[in-house]
Every structure is written in structure tokens, then in C-alpha cells.
Amino acid sequence: MKPHGIARIFVLAGILTVLLSLAHAVTINESLKFVLASKDFVELTGMAGLVIDLRYATPNNFVGQNMYGEFNKAFLHQIAAEKLTKALRNLQGINPKYKFVIFDALRPRSVQYVLWNKVKGTDREKYVANPTGGSIHNFGFALDLSILDETGRGLDMGTDFDDFSPLAQPLLENQFLKAGKLTDRQINTRRILRKVMEGAGFVQLPLEWWHFDALPSVEVKAKYKMVE
């Protein structure tokens, strides 16, 4: 095949990809209506032991604007919600006055497109899943969270949520402890979070201390439908 023929195929493939994404695109309001009407998802807002602080539904996030719009409630797939309930019991077994603070939960693909368009082509692109393949958040099986103490203050994890520095990576904790960039106390609080979440069946994302999946991504994408 001639070079210009190959180039034409790539162009057509790109156009087809765009058309397919547009064909499946829904509004954020439509995403909310779908989740509210579905029996597969559980709303976390108002549950005892949880404080909801959806960062992407406020300007308090790394892009500085509200990306969720009307989708300002926290949901999980019922399987993930059951595991969260168990994790909360684990946490309160350590300290009955501790609570979880939820930074992000179910994120419909309509919001994933908004987030992706903010980071595409930047050095932060690698931290955000391309909406074409989707994130486990888009299925309602991923959770971003931390722990609040008896006074309602967040335990010191060494970095804030959505910190894109290597300090946020669990795999590098021992390295930064030896270098004096993380303290024993900060590592111990991360271990508390890991212990209660993993004890409930969650798996931690190696790059982010706050991110946990209720099921492996391969299983989620094979068995469950993404929330558009």
C-alpha cells in the first residue's frame, strides 16, 4: 500500500473514533439521572461515619474548577459499597471516633471527558485515564479517600489528595522515610488506611495512597458496564 493510502486510513480511523465517542456521549445531568434510577448503585451521602468532600465537584482540586456540575453526590456500585461498610467497621475498630472522608467515588464517563480534556497534552496526562478505555471510577468500583480524626481533621498522610509528586506513591514510602521526606507517623497513618481498606477487600493503586479499587480492573471491565 502506498504511504498516502496508509495515512488516509489513520485519518479515517481517527475520525471514526471521534464519531463513536460522540455517539456515546451523554450529559452530566443524564449520567446523574441514570445512576439515581439504577438499583446497582448506592448513594454514600448521609451515611454514618462518612464525610463527603467531592473535590472535583468544587474548585478545590488540581485544575481549580468544578467538573462535576449537577453530579454532586457520591455513589458506588453496591459491591464496592458493601466493602466500604466493612472498611468503616475496621476503621472504627481502631478508633470509634475516626471517619472516612470521601474525595471521589463513582465518576461517570461524561465527567471523565471533562477531566481528560483538562490534562491531555500536559505532564499530568499519565495520572488520568483516557475516557475511551475508561477508569475504574467510571464503573463505580474505585474510591479516593482519607481518614478524619476525633476533631474532624485529616490525618497527616505526608501529601494532600491529588498530589502528583513521588511522595504520594506507596511504593516509594521506605525510600522517602530514609531520606527524611516522610515521617514514621505519616507512614503509619497510611498503613492504617491500607489495613482497613485491604482488610475489606480493596486493592490500593501503587501511585496514589488515597486510591482503592474494590475489584481488579480486568474483572471490572470484563463483567460490568461503564456509567456513561
Q: What is the pLDDT of residue 3?
A: 54
* Nearest CA among 71, 151, 126, 79 for reference residue 104: 71
Report how far residue 137's alpha carbon sits from residue 69's, in angstroms, rounded to the nearest whole number: 17
Q: What is the pLDDT of residue 173?
A: 96
Q: What is the pLDDT of residue 89?
A: 97
Q: What is the pLDDT of residue 92?
A: 96
DSSP 6-58: HHHHHHHHHHHHHHHHHHH---HHHHHHHHHH-SSEEE-TT-TTEEE--GGGS
Beta bridge partners of 158: none
Report how far residue 167's alpha carbon sits from residue 157's, in angstroms, rounded to the nearest whole number: 10
Alpha carbon 37 to its chain's center: 22
The DSSP letter of residue 138 is G
Judged against a pLDDT cut of 90, whether residue 9 lies above it is answered with no
The 10s digit of each residue's pLDDT in 139-195 is 999 999 999 999 999 999 999 999 989 999 999 999 999 999 999 999 999 999 999
How far CA 201 is from CA of 117, 137, 177, 204, in Å, comes to 32, 16, 27, 10
What does pLDDT average to over the chain?
89
Report how far residue 203's alpha carbon sits from residue 142's, in angstroms, rounded to the nearest whole number: 9
CA 129-186-45 angle, to 5 degrees, is 55
The 10s digit of each residue's pLDDT in 208-228 is 999 999 999 999 999 999 999
Beta bridge partners of 75: 43
* Fold topology of 25-223: Muramoyl-pentapeptide Carboxypeptidase; domain 2 (3.30.1380)
Map out the domains of the chain as residue ranges.
25-223
The 10 Å CB-count burial string (b at 16+, else e) for 159-184 is bebbbeeebbbbebbeebeeeeebee
Compute the average pLDDT of residues 71-88: 96
pTM, entire model = 0.86
The pLDDT-based confidence of 29 (bands split at 50, 70, 90) is confident
Percent of the chain with pLDDT over 70: 89
